Amino acid sequence: MTRRGRGAPAAPDDTAAPDHTDAPDDTAAPDDTGSVLLLTLGYAILALVVVFVCVDATSLYLAQKRVDAAADAAALAGADGFELVIDDGEPRALLTDDDVGELATALVGQWGGDLRVVAASTPDGTSARVTVAGTWRPPIAALFVPEGVALEATATSRTALR
């Protein structure tokens, strides 16, 4: 190393590394420009698939609630179709399978859609049991969602005279 005095120009240091600006830098990070774009695209597609499956799951839930409500309403209509009978001076409501089926089918027919009455009966003469079925179709076709799901609901309604 050369000593310099006041006003003397600095001499090059022999121990210092030479300054090569055109040499490649081995410590630089690899170029990730293309892989970040692919990761972003992959996450966007995954997010869309999750949204589509959630929309289909919500639609399935609402369709099952619709079938449940139709079965409840049909059972209530069937239970309201009783015939008043007097046994030993006591009034009692009497239901028949034919009356329950007729009233339940009429109500479900007005409900619309692909709902249908599968079974309608009275197990004890005072209750109406109705089974309603339908088919759910997904509103958005997704990879992990089936084309259609059969839905079914059974409801019971009881007639009581007081």
Assess whether pLDDT exceeds 90 at residue 150.
yes
Assess whether pLDDT exceeds 60 at residue 101.
yes
CA atoms within 13 A on the CB side of 116: 5
| 61-84: pLDDT as tens digits | 999 999 999 999 999 999 998 888
- Please indicate whether residue 22 or residue 68 has the higher confidence score (pLDDT): 68
CA atoms within 13 A on the CB side of 4: 9
